[in-house]
Structure 1
Amino acid sequence: MRERVIIDFETTGLSAMMGDRATEVAAVVIDETGIIDRFQSLMNGGRRIPPCVQQLTGISNAMISRAPKAEVVMHELLDFVAGRPLVAHNAAFDHGFLGAELDRIGAACPSVWLCSLKVARRVYPEAPNHRLQTLIRHLCIETVGQYHRALADAEMTALLWLRMEQKLQHDFALPEVPLELMRRIQTAPCKGLGQCVGSFKRSVSSA
């Protein structure tokens, strides 16, 4: 079975480079059968959460004060990920915060990342926009939990990723959807999905 880890962070703000910290992380493992494992934890990075972010996420400073230290959670997360490829919706955001938190414990950031937002732009060009909540509604995927909480967003991203794999399998007669194909799709021209998949199939058949 090909396992992938879908990851999501909630944070004190938008920029790890400007000193914002993660407040919650969740990761779910998927294979061809669906979600098979879950990890979730609040985390205390020592930075207060602004009122507007508390209102958005429902994560309060009181909750963070009781949470485990960020470095403890990061070690647990690395053990959970166990070197498997990572997927996130708007992966640049999550990659930035994961990298910043891992820097603090002297650990390397996993190198294999895929972005469900970029893939969705190619697979669902007709969607009103490609925010996670919009795509879940557009595809009539059942909402799991509360948006802007890490586990719910990770689980819904996982369901979106599986739905995209299934669509690609159906539309292009693929026996499976390798991660390498998803990597190519996320960097292909937005109107070049068919050409991208066709090129990949030819490269596989000639190998």
Structure 2
Amino acid sequence: MTLANKVIVLDFETTGLSPNNADRAIEIGAVKLIDGEIVDSFQELMNPGRSVNSFIENYTGITNAMLKEADSCEAVMTRFANFIEDFNLVAHNASFDKKFLDAEFEHCQQQYSGQFACSLLLSRRISQDAPNHKLGTLVEYHQLPNDGVFHRALADATMTAHLWNHQLQLLQQQLPHKAITFELINQISKRPKAQVSGYLQSL
């Protein structure tokens, strides 16, 4: 049993949508969350070995000039592997970040032992009244702390960490006598939305 309040919350900025199309990471941002507190952070740009297009430059604010000065993906991701240790991992739209983490770790022969959870999937189940489940919308909907910066990895990871803490609090209010474990989060996240309320009442 692993409590859900000890996690690494991460976010990638990338050259495109999929490593299957030879896209690479250009920035990793992550925070280490223990008992609701951010105790450490990791943020580095990384050089993917080729230029990024103007859309990515405008979307992220990360320019080719910035990436030219950065270390290689392999060097940065090797350092990130040490940062992760054996923690479980959280991301908003985790399927995207997991694909890139797996692909970048394969490039540098690294691995991780933790499991992934997705704050977006969880939001769809426990915050069904939200207008949508984009990170920026949820930050505003739940009135969470933010510095107004979006689409940079550490800023997005930090906002996701605040969202994750809020989600754990919402669940703890509904389940006051139950430990909120990482396994429970993933059980909730897999259930059809219509079944979530009944499932929580059955616990």
Match among 73, 77, 80 for residue 77 of structure 1: 80
User: Does structure 2 conserve the Cα–Cα contact (< 8 Å) formed by 1:98 and 1:109?
Assistant: no
Give the SS at the match of 1:191. Answer: helix
* Partner Cα distance (1:55, 1:94) in 2: 20
Match among 1, 4, 11 for residue 8 of structure 1: 11
The one-character-per-residue Cα deviations of 1:131-162 (angstroms, maximum 9, x if unpaired) are: 10010011111213510000000000000000
Give the SS at the match of 2:19. Answer: coil
Point out the more displaced range, 77-86 or 189-198. Answer: 189-198
Amino acid at match of 2:164: W
| Structure 2 residue 193 is the aligned partner of structure 1 residue 178 | no
TM-score (norm 2): 0.93
User: Does structure 1 conserve the Cα–Cα contact (< 8 Å) formed by 2:33 and 2:39?
Assistant: yes
* Partner Cα distance (1:196, 1:112) in 2: 22
Percent identity between the two aligned chains: 40
TM-score (norm 1): 0.92
Gaps of 5+ in 2: none
1:192 deviates by: 1.9
| Structure 2 residue 50 is the aligned partner of structure 1 residue 86 | no
Give the SS at the match of 2:8. Answer: strand
User: Does structure 2 conserve the Cα–Cα contact (< 8 Å) formed by 1:172 and 1:197?
Assistant: yes
Give the root-mean-square deviation of aligned CA atoms: 1.5
Counterpart position of 1:204: none
1:191 deviates by: 2.1
| Structure 2 residue 149 is the aligned partner of structure 1 residue 146 | yes
Cα 1:197/1:119, change in 2 over 3 Å: same
Q: With a CA cutoff of 8 Å and minimum separation of 6, indicate the structure with the bigger relative contact order.
A: 2
Give the SS at the match of 1:17. Answer: helix
User: Does structure 1 conserve the Cα–Cα contact (< 8 Å) formed by 2:19 and 2:100?
Assistant: yes
* Partner Cα distance (2:114, 2:66) in 1: 31
| Structure 2 residue 42 is the aligned partner of structure 1 residue 39 | yes
1:108 deviates by: 2.9
Counterpart position of 1:115: 118
* Partner Cα distance (2:152, 2:190) in 1: 28
The one-character-per-residue Cα deviations of 1:28-60 (angstroms, maximum 9, x if unpaired) are: 111223211101100111121110111010000
Amino acid at match of 2:105: L
